[in-house]
Amino acid sequence: MTFPGLDRIEALARNLDGWQRELAGKMAELEQSSAEGVSDSGLVRVTAAADGTIVSSELDARAMRLDSYTLAEEFTAAASRAQSAAAARVRELVGEVIGDAPGASGPAGDRPDRY
């Protein structure tokens, strides 16, 4: 007796090992990734890890001439941009993995909700 979808299940099982290796590689890449954000003036640079944690900041010496309110705005803008860029990188890497996952039929929006 033949079961519907059995061929697809067998194909998924054959591809699973390769997909798991790819996923591990992408996860390692993700752990090592970071993104930088720069304020409008260019006087403040902030680097964020993939999880959004701020890992470093850099001030141009001219930033010390700014009042505290403006300097705070510069930091906030740079940090927000760094975190947004880090989140975009995460989405990109996850999209690559999901798009290559066994059973994936293209971009996430193109896949049916059920199989």
Q: Could you report the per-residue pLDDT of 38-58, keeping only the tens digit for each?
A: 999 999 999 999 999 999 999
**CB contact at 8 A, 79 and 38:** no
* More confidently predicted of 29 and 65: 65
List the domains of the chain with CATH numbers.
24-96 (3.30.1310.10)
Q: HSE-up of 3 (CA within 13 Å, CB side)?
A: 6
So what's the pLDDT on residue 94? 81
Give the pairing of strands 54-59 and 34-38. Answer: unpaired
So what's the pLDDT on residue 98? 76
- Name the β-bridge partners of 54: 48
Which residue is listed with tokens 């990734």? 33
Q: What is the pTM of this model?
A: 0.68
Q: HSE-up of 35 (CA within 13 Å, CB side)?
A: 20
